[in-house]
Amino acid sequence: MQGTYAEIYHAWRDDPDGYWAELARDIDWFTPPSRIFDGNDGVYGRWFPDAAGNTCHNCVDRHVAAGRGDTTALIYDSPVTGRKARYSYEALLAQVNAMAAVLADAGVAKGDRVIVYMPMIPEAIFAMLACARIGAIHSVVFGGFAASELAARIDDSAAKLVVTASCGVEPNRVVAYKPLLDAAIDLARNKPERCLVLQRPELAADLVPGRDVDLGQALSAAAGRMVPCAALAATDPLYILYTSGTTGQPKGVIRDNGGHMVALAWTMRALYGVEPGEVYWAASDIGWVVGHSYIVYAPLLNGSTTVLYEGKPVGTPDAGAFWRVVEEYKVSVLFTAPTAFRAIRKEDPEGRFVKRHDISSLRALFLAGERADPDTIRWAEAVLGVPVIDHWWQTETGWAIAGNPLGLGALPVKHGSPTVTMPGYDLRVLDDAGHEVPPGTLGNIALRLPLPPGCLTTFWNADERFRTACLSEFPGYYKTADAGYVDEDGYVFVMARTDDIINVAGHRLSTGAMEEVCASHPDVAECAVIGVADAVKGQVPAGFLVLKSGVSRESSVVEQEVVGLVRDRIGPVAAFKTAICVKRLPKTRSGKILRGTMQKIADGLDWKMPATIDDPAILDEIAGVLSERRIG
Ligand code: COA
Ligand code: AMP
């Protein structure tokens, strides 16, 4: 669809069904949609209810059939292992076919759930696409989670099979995945029938006879086999991706096939401005939504080349890692989280590493995953000399709610704003009573239903939880749980979460879930976990513990045990390294813990004694402890 941002936004507003019907023509359907939206189906309606197609077909087969089999589909670059590989679309098709054959031989059929617990290796992408091919529903679990988090996902999805690797490779250690998986399966009530295990040279895993299969051998044996793409309803689930909710129980976001393809294909051209054949690199992890949408599905739907990078922005080997990759593969558009840039800037404040590389292929940097602080944006603009574009979205939406559509002609940037609402989203800012607030006024950011194609349809097996968590507070709207405002020019500003979610190095975590773990320590009477500002990670969690009366053990010992407990139960990704014993927690007279005020004190911000506080002396005590520990 041609036009400026304003024209296209209005085209959508004037005729949403016509707009989506036109974008749906870019997809190669088995049965094209004759109806665009059914408001009576699903929790808030379903997109393309009578269409049939296959996401893997559109990501892979379609390009080969169109004579583009030689184009590079996937570049694997792994500074942590020293390995590199390239797969053309034709080679990708062969790999995905072999993986699909292995899955089918293991009894996986349409609708079965498959957990993909893998590091950033090509086989993870083959597994995701193979599931899409046969209609199995994948659920990728990030490697930095602990066994109990993995167990919760295996149980909730009732997974039939797990695809894993023997290990992941972090710069400072080899992470043995298989013992974590074995522990998770021990914990899980639902036992998967089979585990396909890729043995990596860095560490071999023990296989459980009768349950575990050597994936490398199975793939070699299946080489050359072809598995047809299943004709799936557009409304069939493509994947479940678990994300932090306000309790320890993660929410299984469901993405469908049809709406997801239509929306993501549009974003590649209109938002990122990337052509087929160009190299697009999302430096994230396949365990997160950014990885699902922009390492795997969108670039491949677009016939572009995607980069799978198994490394970090710094330390693998240095702060020039990103620029080496941009130069080596002629990356056109890079997408990462602001935290990665803060990490690079800390090591290379002058941008010296950038100058050692030819990054002339780079047209733009996109940032998302957390608020992009203006300071970081300005620094990135100065060292890269290309537009730096903040865009805002969530696991639930799968693609940007607000952004600056480079492909339609970028709008002027306002630092601190992810720019404007994308076509398909009707964004409103509401006060707590659900009334719209005037421009410039802070409020709850909500999206008028229906959500556009590509957004979650519901939570896995939990329609009621979806309604309660997201749709009930503001009837007729989806609650983003982000607070912010829209200025007079229609620019969106996203300022903070309205729930207990914090963003640690671009990773979404629930402080409520961490509190559940802290509270499970036998010596802890009550606790509060807050996010404290961090120069690189944006936020890091800090836990405040009140010990049970009569506990005579050293508080430092309990603090270390609690830190260990969170690492064991949630995982290293939580970066929970600070637990502090305090005598009491500050509360309102009605007993609500004043986490917001504690956070302000910890961040060294101005704070006022809340009028409703039960005992003002407690906040002074907390401020004293924080300054003793040099926090805040
Ligand atoms: N498997 C196992 N462990 C993992 C892991 C994985 N896939 N990813 C991270 N971890 C571990 C790390 O080894 C670290 O463990 P440690 O406590 O033993 O050191 C811990 O989880 C925290 O990791 P991380 O958040 O990555 O912090 P870091 O200090 O290693 O690196 C950054 C900091 C900023 C360089 C890094 O977070 C980064 O590159 N972030 C990019 C953001 C991103 O990709 N966001 C996704 C959304 S766009
Ligand atoms: P996730 O589901 O992990 O993608 O995290 C989504 C949350 O991260 C959002 O609800 C926001 O709180 C935050 N977030 C993501 N991108 C941005 C952004 N560009 N600006 C501000 N916050 C962001």
Instruction: Kindly indicate the confidence band of residue 274, based on its pLDDT and cuts at 50, 70 and 90.
Output: very high
Q: What is the mean pLDDT of residues 302-324?
A: 98
Tell me if 473 is assigned to some domain: yes
Instruction: Kindly indicate the confidence band of residue 319, based on its pLDDT and cuts at 50, 70 and 90.
Output: very high
CB 96, CB 130: distance < 8 Å: yes
Does the structure show a pLDDT above 90 at 148? yes
With a 6 Å cutoff on the Cβ, whether 120 touches ligand 1 is no
Query: What are the φ and ψ backbone dihedral angles of 58, each rounded to 5 degrees?
Result: -75, -25
Q: What is the mean pLDDT of residues 521-543?
A: 96
| Interval 41-55: pLDDT, tens | 999 999 999 999 999
Of the three residues 432, 454, 484, the one that is the final residue of a domain is 484
Tell me if 339 is assigned to some domain: no
With a 6 Å cutoff on the Cβ, whether 290 touches ligand 1 is yes
Tell me if 341 is assigned to some domain: no
The set of residues, in sequence order, having a beta carbon less than 8 Å from that of 611 and lying 6+ positions away, is none
d(CA 191, CA 159): 8
Query: Which ligand 1 atom lies nearest to the CA of residue 170?
Result: 13
Q: Lowest-pLDDT range, 120-124, 170-174, 281-285, 625-629?
A: 625-629
Residue 184 alpha carbon to ligand 1 centre in Å: 21
In this structure, what CATH number is given to the domain that contains residue 599? Answer: 3.30.300.30
Does the structure show a pLDDT above 80 at 245? no
Residue 625 alpha carbon to ligand 2 centre in Å: 31
d(CA 525, CA 503): 26
Per-residue confidence (pLDDT) for residue 298, from 0 to 100? 98
Per-residue confidence (pLDDT) for residue 632, from 0 to 100? 61
With a 6 Å cutoff on the Cβ, whether 369 touches ligand 1 is yes
Q: What is the mean pLDDT of residues 274-287?
A: 97
CB 162, CB 192: distance < 8 Å: yes
Q: What is the mean pLDDT of residues 514-535?
A: 96
Rg of the chain over all Cα atoms, to the nearest angstrom: 24
The pair of structure tokens assigned to 630 is: 């040099």
Verify that 89 and 154 share a domain, yes or no: yes
Per-residue confidence (pLDDT) for residue 263, from 0 to 100? 98
Q: What is the mean pLDDT of residues 530-539?
A: 94
Per-residue confidence (pLDDT) for residue 250, from 0 to 100? 85
Instruction: Kindly indicate the confidence band of residue 628, based on its pLDDT and cuts at 50, 70 and 90.
Output: confident
Per-residue confidence (pLDDT) for residue 58, from 0 to 100? 99
Q: How many domains does the chain have?
A: 2
Verify that 540 and 446 share a domain, yes or no: no
Pocket of ligand 2 (CB under 6 A): 243, 289, 368-372, 390-392, 394-395, 418, 482, 494, 497, 503, 508
Of the three residues 452, 484, 516, the one that is the final residue of a domain is 484
Verify that 198 and 90 share a domain, yes or no: yes
Does the structure show a pLDDT above 90 at 608? no
Tell me if 268 is assigned to some domain: yes
Verify that 161 and 262 share a domain, yes or no: yes
Does the structure show a pLDDT above 90 at 488? yes
d(CA 168, CA 180): 11
Determine if the peptide bond prior to 412 is cis (ω within 30°).
no
Of the three residues 453, 484, 515, the one that is the final residue of a domain is 484
CB 276, CB 304: distance < 8 Å: yes
Residue of 273, 280, 322, 321 lying closest to 297 (CA atoms): 280
Verify that 474 and 512 share a domain, yes or no: no
Cα distances (angstroms) measured from residue 609 to each of 545, 581, 584, 630: 21, 22, 16, 21
Does the structure show a pLDDT above 90 at 626? no
Tokens 């939880």 belong to residue: 465
Tell me if 293 is assigned to some domain: yes
d(CA 626, CA 417): 32
Tell me if 367 is assigned to some domain: no
Per-residue confidence (pLDDT) for residue 244, from 0 to 100? 84
Per-residue confidence (pLDDT) for residue 352, from 0 to 100? 97
Structural domain including 619 reads 505-628
604 backbone φψ class: left, alpha, beta (φ>0; ψ -120 to 50)? left
Residue 401 alpha carbon to ligand 2 centre in Å: 10
Per-residue confidence (pLDDT) for residue 609, from 0 to 100? 86
Verify that 532 and 476 share a domain, yes or no: no
Tell me if 108 is assigned to some domain: yes
For ligand 1, atom 15, the nearest C-alpha belongs to 572
Verify that 442 and 513 share a domain, yes or no: no
Residue of 558, 614, 551, 628 lying closest to 584 (CA atoms): 614
Tell me if 496 is assigned to some domain: no
DSSP-based three-state secondary structure for 572: helix
In this structure, what CATH number is given to the domain that contains residue 105? Answer: 3.40.50.12780
d(CA 615, CA 597): 14
d(CA 97, CA 227): 6
**Burial environment of residue 56 by CB neighbours within 10 A (0 to 12, 13 to 18, 19 or more):** buried
Verify that 472 and 510 share a domain, yes or no: no
Cα distances (angstroms) measured from residue 525 to each of 104, 305, 605: 50, 53, 28
Per-residue confidence (pLDDT) for residue 623, from 0 to 100? 87
| Interval 86-136: pLDDT, tens | 999 999 999 999 999 999 999 999 999 999 999 999 999 999 999 999 999
For ligand 1, atom 19, the nearest C-alpha belongs to 572
Give the end-to-end CA distance of the chain in Å, rounded to a whole number. 50
Per-residue confidence (pLDDT) for residue 625, from 0 to 100? 87
Mean pLDDT over the full length of the chain? 96
Query: Which ligand 1 atom lies nearest to the CA of residue 368?
Result: 48
Verify that 82 and 136 share a domain, yes or no: yes
Q: What is the mean pLDDT of residues 144-156?
A: 95
Q: What is the mean pLDDT of residues 339-348?
A: 96
Does pTM top 0.85 for this prediction?
yes
Verify that 303 and 442 share a domain, yes or no: yes
Verify that 125 and 249 share a domain, yes or no: yes
d(CA 403, CA 417): 9
Does the structure show a pLDDT above 90 at 68? yes
Residue of 310, 362, 416, 279 lying closest to 76 (CA atoms): 310
| Interval 560-599: pLDDT, tens | 999 999 999 999 999 999 999 999 999 988 888 999 899 9
**Burial environment of residue 134 by CB neighbours within 10 A (0 to 12, 13 to 18, 19 or more):** buried
Q: What is the mean pLDDT of residues 285-311?
A: 98
Per-residue confidence (pLDDT) for residue 246, from 0 to 100? 67
Residue 369 alpha carbon to ligand 2 centre in Å: 4
Verify that 477 and 513 share a domain, yes or no: no
